[in-house]
Each structure stands twice: as structure tokens, then as C-alpha cells.
Amino acid sequence: MEYKHRELVKALTMLLCQLPDDILYHILSYLDYKSLSRLSQVCKTTYHFVNRDAVWRKIAKEFLNTGITRNGRDIYPHIPLKERVKIAQNWYNGVCKIAAPIKWKIKLLPWLQLDGEVLFLSQAANIGAYHLRQDKGKVPRNPFAIYSGHNGDVCRFALTDSHLISGGSDGKVMVHSRRSNVSKELSGHNQEVNCLDARDRLIVSGSRDRTARIWTLDSSCPKYTITMYDRVWSVAINPTLSSFVTGTACCKNFSPLHIWDVERSECVCSLGSGFRRGAGVLDMQFESPFQLFTCGYDTFIRLWDLRLSPRKCVMEWEEPHDSALYCIQTDGNHMIASGSSYYGVVRLWDKRQTECLQFFQLTSDPVSSPVYCLRFSSSHLYAALATALYSMDFRHNPCNIR
């Protein structure tokens, strides 16, 4: 009986594999990820066909952090989608291994950027570049390159394909070439540069001196200086390069969020209303030219749709322990990661739900530290705290943390 069953399965599999690819893709689109995994084990023919990215694409779009964005772009085309779907279940269930690969003795306000297999970490006046170990995601102790030039701590920095641009407590903006040892200094702010963003050849900086300044990679002085009514804590350039958003400390009875036209350096509109005093915006990210995520001292992550009325956000998620939110990042589809102001708390959110999905407390030190910045890939999340860089590996040797 068992022999006949195996022969029947084999015959059906051979018949299935004779179908045109487009019809077979359509049939397989009705299977969930468990059924696809079982089907791939039937024989070598089905294994090779089922492991194609085209088979897994529809499923991957419904999972967290698979690299398939809302508009269908694939962020990690070099990693098989089947593998990413497998890892995505660990993100959803909060299964990971936590380590602290880099520690330092004095308290700092570090910042992070992640570009493929290279992690950039600011420590005091320097920014180190670390090659992540291939297939392991581990951070080596020593950087392969160091970017310097500030006379004080680096507050924020941003990456383009060709340059690293940093803003410091000395009021300077430094432009470093990533392809050579050439650096140049941009002077204009007279207090610390709290925030900075760069896209293509456009740079926007914001400062404690209550100004936002627009630069280009070729300029030696600001193209425009915009005088604000408050300290500027966060900026984000629209992917279209036509506008940018500033987030301020909200010390006045005005909205802390403003959209500015790049060419005219004029305010286009304000976002939101009814912000309480002190509800400063600490971080923001454009997910598309019309979708903006913000977070800050009022404990909310907010999603703004710039095609709709600017007076109200379209969705919001509240930090359940009433902690300020220092940083956020999204996967371009369903997942948000946030860093809180106390005890190194990282939270994962599913945009389709209102409640927090997963919670991780990275440190139990008596002296609390915010998560100043976080960045993630398909398999790892990196978080910068006052005295250490933490890594969370969602692939191997899992330990369940809630």
C-alpha cells in the first residue's frame, strides 16, 4: 500500500512538472509556506522549482521584513526568498540571539547606518566602518575605516552612494568621500548640528541654533538658511528631492512638523495639530514620497499620508510604557522597529495591528540608557545604546525572548 502511494505521488509530481510555468505558478500560489516546504521535499524536480523566488513572492509580501516592499521592490535580491520567509517567522515570534559585540567605557550618544554588509557607527568624534562577517552578520571589534574631522561629538550622519555626511556638536557639517580620503568642512551653524539627511547631492541639516540649512555636495556655504522658531531635532528629505520635513522641540504652541519646498525654501504646510508642549519629534523616515513615519517625546509612532489632509495622521501606535521614542525604522511593508528611552527597549510592530508585537530589553543595567539608533537587515537588528552596540540575530541558535 505504501509503495503504491509513493508511486502515485511520483506520477502526480511528474504530471505537475509538465505544466507550463505560468500555470504551475498559479497553482502554487494557493499554497501556504508550510505546504510549499513539504512539496519541495518530494523530489529534486519540485525542490528546484519550488525554491524559485517567483513561487515565494506572494507569501513573502505578507510576512515581516522579507525585503519585499509595499510597491513590490526587492531590497535583498541576493538572498533566496524561501530563506527570508523562514527568518521572518522568527521576527514575528521574537526568536533571536542577543549579543553586545562592541562596548565602550564612557557614555556616548552614538548613531548608526547600515549599507549592505557594512555597518557605520559613530563614537564621540569618529565614525567607524565595520565589515559584517559574511553569512554571520557579526560585527568585528575593529573598523576597517575611520571618518573624523569634528572637534566634538558626532550627532548624526547620513550615507549616499559616494559620500558620508556628518553633523557634530561643533556646529560643522563634514563631507567625506567613501571612495577616497578626501573630506571637506561646511560651516554655517553656530551651535550643534542635531540632525542631518542627505539624498543624491542634496544635504539638509538642522541645529540647536534654530535654523535648517540646505546644502549641496558641491557647495562650501549653505544654499538656503531657514530660520525656525525652535530647535531642530530631526529632518528627512523626500525621495523626490523636491521637499523635506523638519521636526522641532515643540517648545512653542505650534506643530513641530513642517514641510518645506527645497527650491523656494518656503514652508508648504504643517502636519498635525494639538501637540502638547514638549512633544518634540526625534526621528522620522519617508517610506515613499507620500508616506512619512515620525516618533518622539509624546510616545507615539505616527504615519502621515501627504496626499491627504495634513491636520491628522492616518495611523498611530503608542508606546505602552509611556516612554519617549528615540528612533524608528520600517521595512517598507508591514514592520516597524522602534527604540525607547529607558532600559534599551526595542519593540517590533506590525502595522496591521495596533498593539506592540514583540518587546526586547537589551540591558538590565541599573543606569538606564535609551536606544539612540537602530538599523536592521533581513536577519539582524543592530541597536546603539550609551555604552554598547547590541546585535540581535534572528537566524541561528534561537532563544525565546518576550
- What CATH number is associated with residue 11? 1.20.1280
Q: Could you tell me if residue 314 is inside a domain?
A: yes
Q: Are residues 103 and 47 in the same domain?
A: no
What is the pTM (predicted TM-score) of this model? 0.90
Q: Are residues 34 and 145 in the same domain?
A: no
Cβ of 266: how many Cβ atoms within 10 Å?
Answer: 10
Q: Are residues 364 and 379 in the same domain?
A: yes
Q: Could you tell me if residue 402 is inside a domain?
A: no
Q: Are residues 386 and 246 in the same domain?
A: yes
Burial class (CB in 10 A: 0-12, 13-18, 19+), 355: exposed
Q: Is the dihedral of CA 319, 73, 63, 161 positive or negative?
A: negative
Q: Are residues 63 and 123 in the same domain?
A: no
| Residue 182 contacts residue 164 (beta carbons within 8 Å) | no
Q: Could you tell me if residue 106 is inside a domain?
A: yes
Residuewise pLDDT in 10s, the chain (402 residues): 444 445 545 555 666 666 676 676 666 666 677 777 776 666 766 666 667 777 778 888 999 999 999 988 999 999 988 899 999 999 999 999 999 999 999 999 999 999 999 999 999 999 999 999 766 668 888 999 999 999 999 999 999 999 999 999 999 999 999 998 899 999 889 999 999 999 999 999 999 999 999 999 988 889 999 999 899 999 999 999 999 999 999 887 689 999 999 999 999 999 998 888 888 999 999 999 999 999 999 999 999 999 999 999 999 999 999 899 999 999 999 999 999 998 899 999 999 999 999 999 998 776 789 999 999 999 999 999 999 999 999 986 544 433
Q: Could you tell me if residue 194 is inside a domain?
A: yes
Q: Could you tell me if residue 11 is inside a domain?
A: yes
Domain count of the chain? 2
Burial class (CB in 10 A: 0-12, 13-18, 19+), 307: exposed
Q: Which of 35, 68, 91 is the last residue of a domain?
A: 91
CATH code assigned at 337: 2.130.10.10
CA 298 to chain centre: 20
Q: Are residues 56 and 122 in the same domain?
A: no
Residues in the chain: 402
Q: Are residues 23 and 151 in the same domain?
A: no
Q: Could you tell me if residue 398 is inside a domain?
A: no
Q: Strand, coil or helix: what is 62?
A: helix
Q: Strand, coil or helix: what is 59?
A: helix
Distance CA(320)–CA(22), nearest Å, equals: 47
Burial class (CB in 10 A: 0-12, 13-18, 19+), 150: buried
Q: Are residues 80 and 7 in the same domain?
A: yes
Grid cell digits, residue 225: 538658511
Q: Are residues 139 and 178 in the same domain?
A: yes
Q: Are residues 176 and 141 in the same domain?
A: yes
Q: What confidence score (pLDDT) does residue 356 get? A: 96
Q: 232: domain range?
A: 98-393
Which of 315, 301, 303, 325 lies closest to 374, judged by CA?
Answer: 325
Q: Which of 37, 65, 91 is the last residue of a domain?
A: 91
Q: Are residues 59 and 184 in the same domain?
A: no
Grid cell digits, residue 387: 555604552
Q: What are phi and psi of 219, to 5 degrees?
A: -85, 155
Unique residue bearing C-alpha cell 519617508 = 286
Distance CA(284)–CA(71), nearest Å, equals: 20
